[in-house]
Structure 1
Amino acid sequence: MRVAIATRIFDPEPSAASFRLSALARSFFARGDEVRVLTVRPPRGATAAPAPYRVTRFPVIRDRTGYVRGYVQYMSFDIPLFFRVLCGMRQDAIVVEPPPTTALSVTVAARLRRTAVFPYAADVWSDASESTGAPRPVVAAVRWMERYSWSRAAGVLAVNDGVAARIMEIAPQAKVTVVGNGIDTDLFMPEGETAAEAPNTPYAIYTGTASEWQGAEVFVRAVAQLRDNGSALRLVFLGQGTSFPELQRLAEALDAPVDFHPPVPPAEAAAWLRGAAVSVASIRPGAGYDFAYPTKVFAAWACGTPVVYAGPGPAGVVLAGNPALGEGVDFSPAAVAGALERAVSDPGLDRKVIAEWAHENVSLGGVAARVTACVSASLPRSSPR
Structure 2
Amino acid sequence: MNRRLLALAAAGTGAAVLATAALRARPRGGEPRVVLATRLYAPEPAAAALRLRGLARALADAGAQVTVLTSTPPGMAAPADPGVTVSSAPALRDEGGYIRGYAQYLSFDIPLAARLLAGPAPDLIVAEPPPTTGAVVGVAAALRGAPYAYYAADVWSDAAASTGAPGWVVGALRGVEGLVLRGARTVLAVNDGVAERVRELGARAVTVVPNGIDTDVFTPAGPRAADAPAAPYFLYAGTASEWQGAGVFIEALRLVHREEPEARLVFLGQGSDWQALKDLAGGDARVVFRDLVPAAQAATWQRGAVASVVSIRPGLGYDFAYPTKIFAALACGTPVVYAGPGPARTDLPANALGWASDYDAEQVAAAMLAALEASRADDAQRAQAAQRRREWVMRHRSMQAALRDAAEVLLAEASVTD
Mark yes or no: TM-score above 0.5: yes
- The residue aligned with 2:13 is none
In 2, the alpha carbon distance for the partners of 1:89 and 1:74 equals 26
Matches for 1:1-385 after TM superposition, within 5 Å: 1-40=32-71, 42-52=72-82, 53-171=84-202, 173-252=203-282, 255=284, 257-322=286-351, 324-346=352-374, 347=377, 350-379=385-414, 382-384=416-418
The letter for the 2-side match of 1:64 is E
The DSSP-based 3-state class of the residue aligned with 1:208 is: strand
* Distance in 2, Cα, partners of 1:157 & 1:252: 42
Q: Distance in 2 between matches of 1:130 and 1:256?
A: 36
AA paired with 1:383? T
How far apart in 2 are the matches of 1:30 and 1:49? 16
Q: Percent identity?
A: 51
Shift of 1:328: 1.3
Distance in 2 (CA, whole Å) between partners of 1:226 and 1:39 is: 43
User: Amino acid of the residue matched to residue 58 of structure 2?
Assistant: S
Q: Given that residues 38 and 56 in structure 1 are in contact (C-alpha distance below 8 angstroms), is that contact kept between their aligned partners in structure 2?
A: yes
Whole-Å Cα distance in 1 between the matches of residues 91 and 322 of structure 2? 29
Cα shift at 1:243:
0.2
SS of the equivalent of 1:87 reads coil
Deviations 1:230-285 (A, max 9, x none): 342211100100000000000016x3721000011111000000111100111101
2:277 and 2:174 map into 1 onto residues whose CA distance is: 29
**CA 1:240/1:372 → structure 2, altered by over 3 Å: closer, same or farther?**
same
- The 3-state SS of whatever aligns with 1:357 is helix
TM-score by length of 1: 0.95
**TM-score normalised by structure 2 residue count:** 0.88
Cα deviations by residue, 1:172-207 (Å, 9 ceiling, x for unpaired)? x42111011101000001000000110001111011
| Contact residue 78 and residue 86 of structure 2 kept, 8 A | no
State how far apart, in whole Å, the 2-side matches of 1:121 and 1:364 are.
Answer: 16
- Name which one, 1 or 2, has greater alpha-carbon Rg: 2
Distance 1:369 1:22 in 2: 12
Residue pair 1:224, 1:256 contacting (<8 A) in 2 also: no
Q: Name the SS of the counterpart of 1:101 in structure 2.
A: helix
AA paired with 1:147? G
Cα offset, 1:44, TM superposition = 2.9
Q: Is the 8 A contact 2:124 2:413 kept in 1?
A: no
CA contact (8 A) 2:191 2:209 kept: yes
Does the aligned pair in 2 maintain the 1:129–1:139 contact within 8 Å? yes
Range moving further from structure 2, 306-315 or 343-352: 343-352
Partner-residue secondary structure (3-state), 2:359: coil
* Cα distance, 1:174–1:231 mapped onto 2, change above 3 Å: farther
How many aligned residue pairs are there? 379
Unpaired segments ≥5 residues, structure 1: none
How big is the shift at 1:383? Answer: 2.6
- Give the secondary-structure state (helix, strand or coil) at the position aligned to 2:235: strand
Contact 1:10 1:17 in 2 (8 A): yes
State the distance in 1 between where 2:177 and 2:309 align. 30
Shift of the 88–265 alpha-carbon distance from structure 1 to 2, 3 Å rule, reads same
CA contact (8 A) 2:329 2:336 kept: yes
- Of 80-89 and 111-120, deviating more is 80-89
Counterpart-to-counterpart distance in 2, 1:230 and 1:281:
20
